[in-house]
DNA sequence: TTTTCTGCCTAACGTTTGTTAGATTATTGT
DNA sequence: ACAATAATCTAACAAACGTTAGGCAGAAAA
């Protein structure tokens, strides 16, 4: 982020500092264990000041949760949209998987905050995050439905269950994979190979075979 | 659990009620958001009474985390030990996967409490749970090492990474699979087929092919 | 029946929390 | 330079928290 210019940019910069601090702390300790004072301190201000930028602690966590998904959604949507319309199902899905992994670790404070705490935040927070979650799920459903319509998907596969398995399995890697020690693209390739083998008709995943 | 008899059994019954209540609440709201008063109320007593049974809130959550893993560990260890020594690697690993799934959903309050909150509890709590975690990981490492020694595992497979993928992917199903709507054994079979295909030499997973 | 002991209740403590309202400071526009 | 406004500080509030120590009730033992 460039140096702030003008008032609007200064408020934006403070806002980002608050969100960055909150995401890192929420992912590490959970929503309830992180005080406004701790977030403010990490953002370089006092707790009362946070209320100039956000109405409540809950509003902060909703934003963190939304940003966690938005980053991944954008990455997958853009990379898939950039493929030629003639791309094979395996290529489309494989690309989506790769992009999901890339964004997952690029914005890991936000994405892992979401993965870790979504299930334990107040119900109102979950409800506020739900539309964004549904949007990302719909993106994948679209990808999988198009693959099925092209005849690439094995008929026995329940596509909803597959999508749940795909997102769940990949997101679980946040808990153990260290991008400073391993290659995210390599990990993505391995997961794509396994997942595509379970999804597609024999021969459709040849380019991704492990 | 049978009706309590005598004093020791009464204390044990109260202790179990506290742990059951804590597990259910922790998994739903996280450690910090659940007060002692809430746990006590759910267990049918007042908050001060909990201190007769446990030294601290942290001791409660350590027990919950430990029990979450112990249940799964016992299930996998017992089912694998019950197999004939001549059992094929695919059979051993598939059985382990099945048992992991079964215990995961049978004791889901405890297992999902562990899966969901382990990463956000105080460091001392994590440290106290670590030996139990390491024990379960070692169980799987043993299973996988024996399969490799028998020549059933593809040489390119990093067995540590595989074990992390196996446990991570399976545990992630806690977030979306509803055992009242679907069959756990069926889900386990599907996961085993996919995982074994990624792990074993060609032909070694024939009985589990999907 | 009386005594002992377990298991729970209760009131209270010191600390922490999210939040508010007013004051102050820093920045921008004229 | 001054005025306006944004951005932050500060003190305070009511509520909630984990925990403690003493008391009480009921069950079991003598």
Q: Where are the domains of chain A?
A: 57-198
Which strand D bases fall within 7 angstroms of a protein CB? 6-12, 16-22, 27-29
Distance CA B95, CA A154 (A): 26
Only one residue has tokens 């497979």, namely B157
**Distance from chain centroid for Cα A117:** 13
Of all nucleotides in the shown strands, which has a C1' nearest the CA of A36? Answer: C18
pLDDT score of A5: 45
Footprint of strand C on the protein (CB under 7 A): A 5-7, 10, 34-38, 47-48, 51, 55-58; B 7-8, 10-11, 14, 40, 45-49, 52-53
pLDDT score of B199: 82
Write down the ipTM of this complex. Answer: 0.91
pLDDT score of B209: 63
Which residues 30-59 of chain B have a CB under 7 Å from nucleic chain D?
A: 34-38, 47-48, 51, 55-58
Distance (Å) from the C-alpha of residue A120 to the closest C-alpha of chain B? 4
Indicate yes or no: CB of B198 within 8 angstroms of CB of A176.
no
pLDDT along chain A (210 residues), means of 10: 49 92 97 97 95 96 98 98 94 97 97 97 97 98 95 89 95 95 94 87 71
pLDDT score of B7: 55
pLDDT score of B206: 72
pLDDT score of A209: 63
pLDDT score of B8: 65
pLDDT for B170-207, tens place per residue?
A: 999 999 999 999 999 999 999 999 899 888 877 777 77
Cβ neighbours of residue A170 under 8 Å, at least 6 residues apart?
A97, A100, A101, A104, A191
Distance CA A109, CA A26 (A): 9
Distance CA B97, CA A54 (A): 46
CATH fold label, B57-198:
Tetracycline Repressor; domain 2 (1.10.357)
Question: Which segments of chain B have a pLDDT < 70?
Answer: 1-8, 209-210
User: According to DSSP H, which parts of A82-119 are helical?
Assistant: 89-106, 108-117
Distance CA B43, CA B16 (A): 9
Chain B interface includes A186 (CB < 8 A): no
Distance (Å) from the C-alpha of residue B86 to the closest C-alpha of chain A? 28
3 state SS of A201: coil
3 state SS of A146: helix
């Amino acid at each position: 982020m460039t140096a702030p210019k003008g008032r609007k940019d200064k408020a934006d910069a403070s806002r980002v500092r608050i969100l960055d601090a909150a995401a890192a702390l929420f992912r590490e300790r959970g929503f309830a264990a992180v005080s406004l004072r701790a977030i403010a301190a990490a953002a370089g201000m006092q707790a009362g000041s946070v209320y100039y930028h956000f109405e409540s602690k809950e509003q902060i966590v909703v934003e963190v949760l939304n940003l966690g998904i938005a980053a991944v959604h954008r990455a997958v949507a853009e990379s898939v949209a950039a493929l030629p319309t003639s791309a094979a199902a395996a290529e489309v899905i494989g690309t989506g998987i790769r992009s999901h992994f890339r964004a997952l670790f690029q914005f890991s404070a936000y994405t892992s905050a979401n993965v870790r705490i979504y299930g334990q935040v107040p119900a109102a927070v979950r409800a506020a995050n739900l539309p964004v979650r549904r949007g990302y799920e719909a993106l994948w459903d679209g990808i999988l439905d198009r693959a099925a319509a092209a005849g690439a998907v094995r008929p026995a596969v329940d596509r909803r269950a597959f999508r749940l398995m795909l997102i769940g399995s990949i997101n679980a890697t946040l808990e153990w994979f260290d991008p400073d020690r391993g290659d995210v693209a390599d990990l993505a390739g391995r997961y794509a190979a396994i997942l595509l083998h379970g999804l597609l008709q024999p021969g459709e995943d040849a380019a991704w075979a492990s």
